Chains A and B, each alone.
Chain A
Amino acid sequence: MDDRHLTSSLVADLDPSARPVAAGYLRELAAALPGSRRDRSAILTEIADGLIEQIADTDGPNPATVARTAIRGFGDPQHLAAQFAPELTGKTAHRTGFGLVSSGPFIGALWLLALTSGPPAVSTASLPERIIGLFAALPVLPVLLLIIVPTALVATAGAGRAAWVLPIATGTACLAGLVAGVGCAVVDLTLVVHALLPGGAWSPFLVAAITISTVRLIVAGAAARRCGRLRFAG
């Protein structure tokens, strides 16, 4: 549901002459709110509920005037959106960090299986030996992981329980989400390009790893772009 439909539906129970006034305010707020559609929708729903309550508690000569008076109590929509911005920024960072932290071990293990299974001499190697072998073949990986893992963890502290443990500014969490997202996209790209180089042996693990990494590359890139937009929006 787009913002126009959402804002109209949220105030559908109001008097017909008050409806456009309230919906107009919510639309201005929606346009000024940063963050994902889901987060903006949650805030609009909450504000609409309060606005309807305030309209019910306000006296005036007609419903449209009552709605305008009630809206004054909520303040300028741009100002209200600016007050929500830190929380929305933090949530975006948290979601980015959490997504990368939770998907990382699974995708890493898949690539390990894909790139180190094959000839018996390789496939019988222990896990540490496989990891060392993979890092030796792609020395950029350990460097990137040293950047991605801590920054992704910092990004998770943008919201949720992690924010209680590590109370950092949401802007910092968002910057960390940007770095982790870009780093992750570079890792996925590196692995996919490496796998596609001629001479490699194909396996179901490799096909699965390439597919999942391609999806994550796109998702991580989009998440990094969102974090960057929020971080540097002013």
Chain B
Amino acid sequence: MRAEVLKGHLDGLLLSVLEQGPIHGYAVIESLRVRSGGAFDLPTGTVYPALHRLERAGLVRGSWSTGAGRRRRCYELTAAGRTALADQRVSWWQFAGAVSTVMGGGGPAWTTAT
């Protein structure tokens, strides 16, 4: 799936991945890819600046640790990040439900309209 398609949903996806606990940037990318069954194979360069943006917004907290013999930056959700994730989930379900209804993916209203 192209990165542009995910525009607007990337923050929610990243927050969702970080919900499982602190992980480093590359693990975030891998987790996104694995959890989406390979559909979200984002350019690596898209994810790191997005993580920094979320950190600036106070939704994630970054900290340095040592792993695999080198310094790496790990990210975890803040309390504000958990709240933002909950809000984005509600917003997504409303949006996805409405799109499904209109496009015929799951709406009885579509079949009974005639």
Contact = CB atoms under 8 A, between A and B. Distances in A.
Contacts, number: 70
A13 B44 contact: no
Interface stretch (A43-51, A193-201, A202-210): A43-51
A105 interface: no
Nearest to A161: B58
Contact of B71 (A45, A51, A167): A45
Interface in B16-66: 24-26, 29-30, 43-46, 48-49, 52-53, 56-58
B82 interface: no
Q: Is the interface of A mostly helix, strand, loop or mixed?
A: helix
B108 interface: no
B8 interface: no
A120 interface: no
A120 B84 CA distance: 60
Nearest to A83: B49
B49 A84 contact: yes
Contacts of A163: 56-58
B25 A49 contact: yes
A54 B49 contact: no
B49 A87 contact: yes
B70 A80 contact: no
Interface in A70-114: 73-76, 79-80, 83-84, 86-87, 90
Contacts of B53: 86-87
A86 B57 CA distance: 12
Q: Is the interface of B mostly helix, strand, loop or mixed?
A: helix
Contacts of B56: 87, 90, 159, 163
A56 B106 CA distance: 42
Interface in A37-68: 42-43, 45-54, 57
A167 B45 CA distance: 24
Given A54-B26, A164-B58, A46 B73 contact: yes
A30 B102 CA distance: 48
19 contacts: A13-B70, A46-B25, A46-B48, A46-B72, A47-B48, A49-B26, A52-B68, A52-B70, A54-B26, A57-B30, A73-B44, A79-B45, A84-B49, A84-B52, A86-B53, A87-B49, A163-B57, A164-B57, A167-B57
Interface of A: 10, 13, 42-43, 45-54, 57, 73-76, 79-80, 83-84, 86-87, 90, 159, 161, 163-164, 167
- Shortest Cβ-Cβ A-B pairs, 4 listed: A75-B45, A83-B49, A164-B58, A53-B26
